[in-house]
Structure 1
């Protein structure tokens, strides 16, 4: 599955339409965001996670969602199941992304 681009309005609808969603909040000037991009892409195309919807959002362009998850920096990740946030936080490694994805399984 590919990574969807979203915004405040679309994410609301998406987290209720899809059972499992992981959102990566990015900032264009964030070097860690850029270094984790290949890992996020890898997980998005991994058949193990075919039931998870992968979403990317620009933190500075989506203030409502950023406030809801209490965004503290980037890259910030949030996982949702059936419209409810399960976990969120700053991540800095592929292993941390994998651990967050495992909580959706």
Structure 2
């Protein structure tokens, strides 16, 4: 599965269209964001997560996301199930992302 690039408005629509969504909010200057980019891409292509929609958002280009990320930092991840926020927080490793996905499934 491909990773969707999204903005604040599209995300609101997407979380109600798709059952399971994981969003990675990034900042272009964040070294951890850059380090986790290949991991996020790899996980998005694994059959185990074929029912999850993977989304990447640039925090600086989206006011709602930017506000959340400024409070928390990057890379900030959020999962949604049937339109409802399940979990969110800062993650810094592949294992943490996998654990977040397992709790979503």
Give the TM-score normalised by the residue count of structure 1. Answer: 0.94
Q: 1:28 and 2:39 equivalent?
A: no
- What are the residue-to-residue correspondences of 1:8-87 with 2, within 5 Å? 8-67=8-67, 71-87=71-87
In the alignment, what sits opposite 2:95? Answer: 95
Relative to structure 1, the CA distance from residue 90 to residue 43 in structure 2 (aligned partners, 3 Å threshold; closer, same or farther) is same
Q: How much is the aligned-residue C-alpha RMSD, in angstroms?
A: 1.4
Gaps of 5+ in 2: none
After TM superposition, the score normalised by the length of structure 2 is: 0.94
Moved >4 Å (runs of 4+)? 68-71
| Counterpart position of 1:104 | 104
What is the alpha-carbon distance in structure 2 between the residues aligned to residue 68 and residue 19 of structure 1? Answer: 23
User: How many residues in Structure 1 have an aligned counterpart in Structure 2?
Assistant: 105
Pick the structure with more helix per residue. 2
